Amino acid sequence: MKHYTYYPSGTCSTQIDIDLNGDVIENVTFTGGCSGNTQGVSSLVRGMKADEAIRRMQGIRCGYKNTSCPDQLATALREALAAG
């Protein structure tokens, strides 16, 4: 099991903690952000392969912002996978 902490930018969330078992997402916890939405995203990606979650979430925008919590999670997952 690998733990990765990411500090997003451009979103209301201030930290994303990810637990990966190989390339499978075991757990995601957001600090800050819209509680219901971040809990929902965390629940939906649990057990999903990281590459699939990235594919589904990258590029999602929040209102007028150029990013979103799901988009930042996709970035965090890419970094976590690259870090090995």
Q: Considering the chain, what percentage of its residues have pLDDT values greater than 90?
A: 99
Domain positions in the chain are 2-83
- Averaged confidence pLDDT in the chain: 97
Give the whole-angstrom CA distance, residue 39 versus residue 60: 17
pLDDT score for 33? 94
According to the model, what pLDDT value does residue 84 have?
A: 80
**Structural contact between residues 27 and 19, judged by C-beta atoms closer than 8 angstroms:** yes
Read off the amino acid at residue 41. V
- Determine the Cα–Cα distance for residues 20 and 40; give it in Å rounded to an integer: 18
C-alpha distances in angstroms, 34 versus 4, 44, 70?
21, 15, 11
Q: Convert the pLDDT of each residue in 59-84 to its tens digit.
A: 999 999 999 999 999 999 999 999 98
Which pLDDT belongs to residue 74? Answer: 98
Look up residue 64 and give its DSSP letter.
T
Mean pLDDT, rounded, for 24-31 = 98
Q: The domain 2-83 is classified under which CATH number: 1.20.120.530, 3.30.390.50, 3.40.50.2300, 3.30.70.3270?
A: 3.30.390.50
Q: What is the pLDDT of residue 59?
A: 97
